């Protein structure tokens, strides 16, 4: 005997299913790159694989080889031959900078095609400043803020660079600007306040 679903039951099932589908469909768009994140972000979360883990040579990057029916394989490659996207280059440059490979990070970040991206400029500033080129780092932060004035992480780094350069009064002005954007309880304000109080930029 053929079974029938009553119109009332069918309507109830549709009503329940539509919100559940709509909620789940948003997940695919949640994995965007670091460059499109909030203005207070320095970059994306730490990538799972780094060039150091694969023992790549300085200046090389990690490339993933996709083979149909086989497990993906990660290899070391030259930047020019890697065909990595800007986001992939940024991810690796960010990680290299945060693990102390400043000049290597600069090489990778400099290969990004979108040269005026605020996140890229900020990490170039960070890498140069930490490598001892403080004034060059400051110039990158300034350029990043010209593109995105409310980028509080860039303002924090700029302030710390100014502290390192002995321009504490100018760093305090950046602290004031940060307070206007995210208040005095945000991480960027607290980090720069600490750098000013201790007269150091090592608390990154």
Per residue in 126-181, pLDDT (tens digit) is 999 999 999 999 999 999 999 999 999 999 999 999 999 999 999 999 999 999 99
Phi, psi (degrees; rounded to nearest 5) at 34:
-65, -30
- Partnered with residue 74 across adjacent β-strands are 64
CA dihedral 142, 145, 150, 151 (to 10 degrees): -80
Instruction: Find where tokens 């954007």 sit.
Output: 181
Interval 94-139: pLDDT, tens: 999 998 999 999 999 999 999 999 999 999 999 999 999 999 999 9
């Amino acid at each position: 005997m053929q079974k029938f679903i009553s119109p009332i039951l069918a309507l109830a099932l549709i009503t329940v299913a539509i919100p559940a589908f709509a909620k789940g469909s948003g997940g695919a768009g949640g994995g965007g790159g670091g460059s499109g994140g909030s203005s207070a972000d320095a970059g994306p979360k730490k990538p799972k694989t780094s060039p150091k883990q694969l023992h790549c040579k300085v200046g090389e990057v990690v490339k993933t080889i996709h083979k149909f029916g086989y497990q993906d394989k990660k290899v070391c490659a030259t930047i020019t031959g890697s065909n990595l996207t800007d986001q992939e280059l940024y991810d690796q440059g960010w990680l290299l900078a945060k693990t102390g490979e400043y000049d290597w990070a600069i090489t990778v970040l400099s290969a990004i095609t979108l040269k005026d991206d605020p996140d890229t400029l900020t990490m170039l500033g960070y890498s140069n400043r930490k490598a001892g080129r403080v004034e060059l780092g400051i110039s990158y932060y300034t350029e990043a803020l010209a593109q995105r004035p409310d980028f509080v992480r860039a303002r924090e780094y700029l302030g710390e660079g100014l502290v390192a350069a002995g321009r504490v009064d100018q760093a305090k002005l950046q602290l004031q600007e940060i307070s206007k954007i995210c208040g005095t309880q945000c991480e960027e304000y607290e980090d720069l306040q600490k750098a000013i109080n201790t007269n150091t930029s090592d608390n990154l």
